[in-house]
Chains A and B, each alone.
Chain A
Amino acid sequence: GEDVEQSLFLSVREGDSSVINCTYTDSSSTYLYWYKQEPGAGLQLLTYIFSNMDMKQDQRLTVLLNKKDKHLSLRIADTQTGDSAIYFCAESDYGGATNKLIFGTGTLLAVQP
């Protein structure tokens, strides 16, 4: 079946690195995404990774993918108070980038000054 799981909460100090983890079950997923949601807002695409990649870096963001264990992580370097938000990982269904997204329950990141 389709299921994406995330830890519910992460608290870090400003300037530290944050690592948000996600596990998924659909081995046919081709694209995996990280979205950010601030209070009362929609979802903002942060980054994505193809399933044939192990790592992708985009400025302060690093995505690691372990396809064997179906484990995805998002590392935020030098975390700032503006990074406080809910972070969702998502996989695309049946390998198509325009297909439906299956989201995790989200991880609330709290950054302490």
Chain B
Amino acid sequence: DAGVTQSPTHLIKTRGQQVTLRCSPKSGHDTVSWYQQALGQGPQFIFQYYEEEERQRGNFPDRFSGHQFPNYSSELNVNALLLGDSALYLCASIRAGIYGYTFGSGTRLTVV
């Protein structure tokens, strides 16, 4: 049973560019959350998608946007990249009745 899969695993972008990260949730899960983990820090919640709608949002600017597709997969988009956006981006999935999100291995984004 595949867990949460994320792509790409690593990415290097230039300041000002835009990036799209992708996530496929664990089979049977319908809720997807995205987290940003800066080096040496704990993950910070970006937003959560359920039924193709953003349900919760953390303290991130509008440059961060997302989408959930009918098959529950999700994308995270970041516009106008800043050096400070360099981090590990983690996708996590869950469904009602399950305790504890399942996390993917993350996408390491480096902005130069």
Residues of A near any B CB (own CB < 8 A): 4, 31, 33, 35, 41-45, 48, 88, 90, 93, 97-106
Contacts and interface: CB of A to CB of B under 8 A. Distances in A.
Q: Which 4 A-B pairs have the closest CB atoms?
A: A103-B42, A43-B103, A42-B103, A45-B100
A96 B96 CA distance: 10
Contacts of A31: 99
A102 B45 contact: yes
A44 B56 contact: no
A104 B42 CA distance: 6
A88 B90 contact: no
Contact of B42 (A44, A45, A98, A106): A106
B84 to A, nearest CB: 18
Which bucket holds chain B's interface residue count? 20 to 34
Interface string B74-112: 000000000000000010101110111111111000000
Given A45-B101, A88-B43, A98-B94, 8 more contacts: A42-B103, A43-B103, A45-B100, A45-B103, A48-B100, A100-B48, A100-B58, A101-B35
A88 B58 CA distance: 19
Contacts of A42: 4, 90, 103-106
Contacts of B90: 42-43
A88 B44 CA distance: 12
Contact of B43 (A44, A93, A99, A101): A101
Nearest to A35: B103
A35 B101 CA distance: 10
Contact of B96 (A45, A98, A105, A106): A98
Contacts of B102: 45
A46 to B, nearest CB: 9
Interface string B28-67: 0001010100001111110010100000101000000000
